[in-house]
Structure 1
Amino acid sequence: MRKLAYFILTIVSLFLLTSCGVTEEEKKETAVLVEKQVQKLIVPIQSNENVLKYLTNVTYEKDPFYADDINLHYNIVGTLNDSFGDLSIKEQYDFFASVTEIIRNVNKENRGKLSCSKDFLCDIYYVQFTTSNQKYKMYYKDLIDIETVKKEQTLVIGDKYEYDSKGIRVNDKNSTSDSSTSETNTSTSDGDDWVKMDDSQKYNIVSSVLTSLKSKGYTISEDTDWFVDALNAFYGENVTNSTKVTEAITLAGFGGKVISKP
């Protein structure tokens, strides 16, 4: 009965929030504020002598799958010289760990997190650098993640192999997950797209967003099916179909009290 009450509250909240939620001006102001914070992260990376032994350029990007005007997820990306490939995996891990530590130190007063109002989600999602023949990625953890999750960062090499701080392979990542998500672009999908999706596509897109939130320390007390049901009930009218799927998921979670911030 309690879950049913929360579900009904969620649908009501979604309609209210989409009709009287954050304004376009607030979205623009927050986007500028967060981007300035991300820009500040680049400077100490560019000036670190140890990092510059291998890093030839660095910049940032909004995440191509999870970012929109409410969910401000950024990645730090760049290029490495090919000599980076000659390092041991442990040395490669240590290199990426040092870059994420630089980022945490820039935002030390905010526990390594980006700062934005409660109506938005803003964070660094991952650090990814590439050589001419390989891709290296480390998902970013702020100080809260490190202290509460109690799980170290891992280095992902290519699309498949993941290594711990000792350079030991921890598992084979499922390389098919990204391709299934990319078929339904999370960042641009809205209600018009949602109503055309089959059950598998809906499940995949919701699962991807929830996985991203969990990796950043958010607590989610309901499963993917709950969110799919919420969005199925929400979408279908012209007034709601313009809402991005990522925004609807977070609104459903916070409105239904099934997502809580770290």
Structure 2
Amino acid sequence: MKKLNLSVYFIILLLLVGCSQEKEPPTVEERNAYLDSIEYIDQYEDGDDRKSTLNITMAEEFAELKVSEQYLFLKEFFDTYEKTYGEVFGYVNRFDELYVRFHDKDYTTYSVYDRAFYLTSTGDHFETKDLQDNETLLDDYDKNVVFNGTFKGKTAEESRAESSAKYTGSTSNSDTETYIKDKNGHDWIQLTDNQRFHAISNALYSLDQNGFVIEESEYYYIDALNAFYSDNSTRNTPINEALVSVGLMSGTIYK
């Protein structure tokens, strides 16, 4: 019996020693020092509402690289940053989104995620797995288009005017009564932009009334669902499930 007690004690002691030797999470100061050391990054800031987002502004020299070379640089940076500093603001705010811009541009140039890469000016996106050993296909894009600072070819002023026309001036009573209940991706792709806005607005209102905290606007979730349902294999997923999944994974919907 004494041997058993000593063995148990020894195991507990090892566990305690192991826990005491766990590496402390990095500090914000250490994270900042790392970012300051990265070539091509001129400025950086954390998201105002979502600490899981990092915004970086690139030096003009970065634009001289091929688009494929920029992608490889940004993907390596994303992976390294996520592994080392992903939880610098805690697990709830774990890093999952990188916005890349250049000086004097209305919009970001790229959005980088664990599994996707977005070109803002064209609205095109690629799965990371599809770019594995195939990143040179990005060089087929005209760099003048990639760096023109637009969102799907529209300036910020043009986008604001279009949004105003879609979501305010042209609102119809039937559109405001659009809901996501009993709808899936096949239904989603048939909705107009105005109907999608009101469907998500109504869904977010319902979540809010049930005690959930919503940290993003309708447009954020509309873009996420557009990307999710762009693949035909996902369209059987109910919209309400997809919306909640987006909110939980991004940390923007919680109770």
Structure 1 and Structure 2 fold alike (TM over 0.5): no
**Which one has a larger percent strand, Structure 1 or Structure 2?**
1
Structure 2-normalised TM-score?
Answer: 0.41
Greater RCO structure (CA 8 Å; 6+ sep):
1
Structure 1-normalised TM-score?
Answer: 0.40
